[in-house]
Amino acid sequence: MKLAILFFILLLAPGTRESLESIMVLHMFLQLPLLILVGVLLHGNRDWRFLKKWNENGVAGMLLAVGVLIFWMLPRSLDDALTEIEIEVWKFVSLPLLGFLWRNSWRKIGGIFKSFLYINLVSMFGLLAWLYLGTPVQICNNYLINEQQIVGAVYLSIVLVSILYLLYLVFIRGLEEEAK
What residue spans define the domains of the chain?
A: 2-179
pTM value > 0.75? yes
Report the pLDDT value the prediction gives residue 163, as an integer from 0 to 100.
95
Angle formed by the axes of helices 75-83 and 59-73, nearest 10°: 70
* Angle formed at CA 125 by CA 170 and CA 109, multiple of 5 degrees: 55
| Residue 84 CA: distances (Å) to CA of 63, 79, 87, 90 | 26, 9, 6, 10
Per-residue pLDDT tens for 108-141?
A: 999 899 999 999 999 999 999 999 999 999 999 9
Report the pLDDT value the prediction gives residue 106, as an integer from 0 to 100.
93
Per-residue pLDDT tens for 134-167?
A: 999 999 999 999 999 999 999 999 999 999 998 9
